[in-house]
A and B are shown apart, each in its own frame.
Chain A
Amino acid sequence: MTREAPDDEASDAAGSADRRSVLLGLGTLGAAGVAGCLGDSPSDVANEGSPTATTTPMDGSATISPTAATTDGTSRTPTDAGTATDTETPTPVDPETEPVPAALTSKFYLGAKSLAVIDDRDPTNSRDVDLITTEPADATGAFRFVGVLPIDGRLLAGTYDFVTDPDLVASGRLRVFIEGEELLFSEGRERVQLHRGRHDFRVEFLREEPGETVSLGWRGTYGGLPPRIAEVDPVREAELPAKGQYELEVGTTPRAKRIAMPNSGSENSRRSLAVGLPSYTSFCFDPTDGSIPYAWLGAFLDYGPMVGYGTGRGDDPGRPLGAMFSVGGTDFPLRIGDPDDETGVEFQGYRKRPEPFELHYSVDGKSITRAVEGVIGDGNPPGRGLRSTVRFEEPPSEPVYFLTMQNDRLERSASVGTWDGGRLEIPGGVEEFTVTVINTNPAAMGMIGGGGMGGGGD
């Protein structure tokens, strides 16, 4: 029996390690996927969050197990499909620096007339690459790309849909392998289950005419786009306005965009700063009160609305390319002396390098640096959140309060001080403190619109 599992870490463990099959005729991508994943309807998101609710596999989905995930030889095979937990020890990764796809190399075999010859020849050239880009563009021959898809918490374990050009597959000029298993693609699509761990990934492509290139994309059904695999990404071309021309992507370093943002809870969200972190956690910062109204999981930002997608006057809010979740943001979260004082924030800018990403502003005239890092929880499924390290230029003598929203999904911790519900009180004189807020179920997120965070009242 093949089973469609929920798209979180529990579901990751639910599938059998060796079972795989192909899901034919996926109908959930395209327009429906766009609506659900890119933020128009909370109800769509809820559906998208549960693959069993939106897909009807004809013969099941491919379940792919990582070959490198169990370094200690422990079994990953769950004993209970409904409740099992993943007992593997994930391969250590440095999610702040490792790209996705990881360790990608490109080999080109000039003049090759068939993919079958790759194993018998030395490549004409070999190089490390960030994406599948079939350079040189004007030469014919065969390409082989080898890399790793790290499902390491930045990307959630669960269901992924791989999409390519059906003609390429039908003509035998494109082959895609995960863990050595070839994806068969039906009408250019195949759905697989990716467990937590590092998945070997191989793509072979035969270029018969100069200029032909690989079209390959993927997406997780939990919401939000995963990072681009290939320069030509049919998922982005199909789902994003203007074929993704205005997407800002995050690699191994933080990225930001000053832009109006939706639904940040303040009319001053027009002044917002969107920040994308390498952990594939992004957040919206409101410079007028120092708050982080929400974060999101997945790809970073479509800034097309700011430029009217190249055709209009623009200046509409940017589109987070993921599903939003709360990190406990409240208005004026940092207060000095008086916990009820909602004033006194002056934005002073931000710094990207050296990392971590820093927000600079003052509260009641006290200059602070707030370093913000993405955090992946150790729960199952892993939560997602942010860690703020707040450093005062001159420590205030009065108590400092850091306020977070009351929410059962939030796990809070701090390096110093005392929690009273969602409010952290820090004694006067402290120069630096750290607050970590993790949303334990970011995959059950609400989306933009519909009166707030949704997803359980975050």
Chain B
Amino acid sequence: MSVEIGKVLGTADSQPLDFWIAVPIQNIVQLDDVVLVRRSLSDGVEVTIYGIVDGLIARHEGAKLDSDVFLAEQGVLPLTHAVKAHVTVTRVEPEIFVPPLPGQPVYRAAGLDRDQALFFDAMQKKFPLGLARDGGVVHGNFEFLDGSRGAHINISGISGVATKTTYATFLLYGVFHSELLGAERNNTRAIIFNVKGEDLLFLDQPNQSLTSDAERMYANLGLPTGPFDDVSFFAPVKRGEEVLIPDTGTRAEGVTAYCWSIEEFCKQRYLRFLFADADAETSHLDAVIDRVEMHLANEDVSACETFLDLKTIIENNVDSWAPLAAAGTRSAFLRRLEAAAYRVGHLIRSKIEREEVHRIDWKRAQMTVVDIHNLHDRAKRFVIGVVLKRMFEEKESVGTARPLVFVVLDELNKYAPRDGWSPIKDVILDMAERGRSLGVILIGAQQTASQIERRVVGNCAFRVVGRLDMAEAQHGEYGFLPAASRVRAGILKPGTVIVSQPEIPIPLMAQFPFPAWATRPSEVKRAAAGNPFRKFDK
């Protein structure tokens, strides 16, 4: 039931798209409250104006001087409190843009009214973005995520407040546990790159630190409480070990060590991803890389025991494979190859037993976690580049958008920086621009959207900000945030985000629950209730 919270005030201009409400002191009105006001026109049409409270002001009325407050507190000066709230209009039904009249009652929208105010009523398919302050669900229009009308999510926020990756996984959790995907649910996939710590290596374990408050939030969101139930984990093979064991600290069981064979490396032309630093002067280098890749694809490399052997073959032949390149370019190529061999060499091996097991197979489980946090920057780029390229090519060859593949990638500023070019940026840009039609949905995250290639952010239907650096919040990339939201972005608590989506003209604040899955070993529920043999089932 929508209840009256105040009246349109007449001391400030009331306009079709924004107006002020006078709020009686006993009514609690806060930022983000969804409100509505109805105006009957003289021709009999009733216009309903919906909006969101995005500013609140309290003042002493009757005070002339700043020090009057002391006199009021001493009981000398009679002053009254006045509270007013600013409303930004989100929707007008029917679309007759008239200002609400001063004195008209303003109601806090609830139930159907709230859905109307936020366009939730018109969403055919919706997925949960979180909870509003009033406890209601904030929905996202899935049509703007699944590619039918738009795709991709971009998340900005300073690091260390556990917002970006956590929110990305929460969104996936919501999508996977909803009815949106229907029959495709089992075939829909997600690839998550674990770039920092080992937080994501426990996605399949229930979180024993989960509070009852968080459980209530999941219930309000209409979601079950539990871990992801179909996850495969991949970690890089340990350097210097003959046996292929995953290079992880906190979890070894259930984690597959990944590497690539020298043969695949050559045939599939992965060489370019060894040179994936964004570089301004790469055009000459690219020509060399292209030539070398071409020759390697046809070269017999079965004799190579290690990547160093392959490197030697390249070193010996580069002059003849790329004769047109300047000597300086060739030596630049070799210098970089040398550096890459040291950083990435251990991931490219010969004679891998059961090669298919150690290949990152993103189709094996619903969620694929690819751990790269222990790798050197150059190796990270290589892994991301190779995995994404392969996945993208597979999707391309299938030719249908469904089932969807979600890709979660943090530190996007490294892989798709605003300046320079790199093969990974190429892949990510491709994904941002063509992914919508291919069913590849990018959930990218970074600390600062201002450092990301504009087209990558520009193609994202959903823009999310967690806590932002105050200076960063002033950049044009956050133009979708009204001034008040920008300020708030500087003080957002962990677990709170501001989400902008198409259709809704104002970004909404949403709170999401603490992960129901463990994010560190100490949170893992030992001897979890339920099926103790669950992990052996696969």
Tell whether A and B belong to one assembly.
no
**A interface residue numbers (CB < 8 A to B):** none
